[in-house]
Amino acid sequence: MKKYVILLFAVVLTTLAFTGCDDPDVNPGGTSVQNMAGQWDVTVNEIDNNGKVISVDPDKLGTITMTTYNTASNSDKEMWLDDNKNFYNFKFKVDVNYAAYTFSATQRLYCPADTTNKGTAIVTNGKSLNNAAKNPHGVPNDSIVFVSNFSDDPPGLVYSCRLYP
């Protein structure tokens, strides 16, 4: 009798072991701007109004890390552009055309969390480009590029930010 109880217990345990893992995988989904969101290692250059580089890396920052990510509303019409305090200490929402993978911003407070800073930023020609760059190891990467200027800079000072120039 003891032999049958052990055998029955082994069969039940084996059955539970195989059926316990049969739950379907949960698809967590993504965000509305997931193909434009990411961490970007960019260089910042000063450019003239025609887009010609005037000064390469004028602040001698080298390659800096910026991030783009979805807003709390998870809309495909806007996303955060954040330099993670690596360049101008900016973090603000930009308008997104998700179908074209472009973004821009007009006169946005560039550091809305800092109530003493009333500086504004303008972003133009923002693009997220799929597999348009190669990382230092030669592997294809997505790329980001945009032009920005800040109200508290001298007039005409414009920056170009781009991934792997």
pLDDT for 165 equals 46
Q: Which sequence spans correspond to the domains of the chain? A: 38-163
pLDDT for 22 equals 57
Query: Residue 101 is which amino acid?
Result: Y
Residue scoring higher pLDDT (156 or 106)? 106
Does domain 38-163 sit in CATH 2.40.128.220?
yes
Average pLDDT, the chain: 88
User: Residue 56 pLDDT more than 90?
Assistant: yes
Q: What is the pLDDT of residues 85-115, one digit of tens each?
A: 999 899 999 999 999 999 999 999 988 778 7
Q: What is the pLDDT of residues 7-25, one digit of tens each?
A: 777 777 777 666 656 567 7
> Among the listed ranges 2-6, 56-60, 130-134, which one has the minimum average pLDDT value?
2-6
CA distances from 77 to 19, 55, 84, 87 (A): 43, 33, 22, 25
The Cα–Cα gap between 103 and 85 comes to 20
Question: The pTM is what?
Answer: 0.79
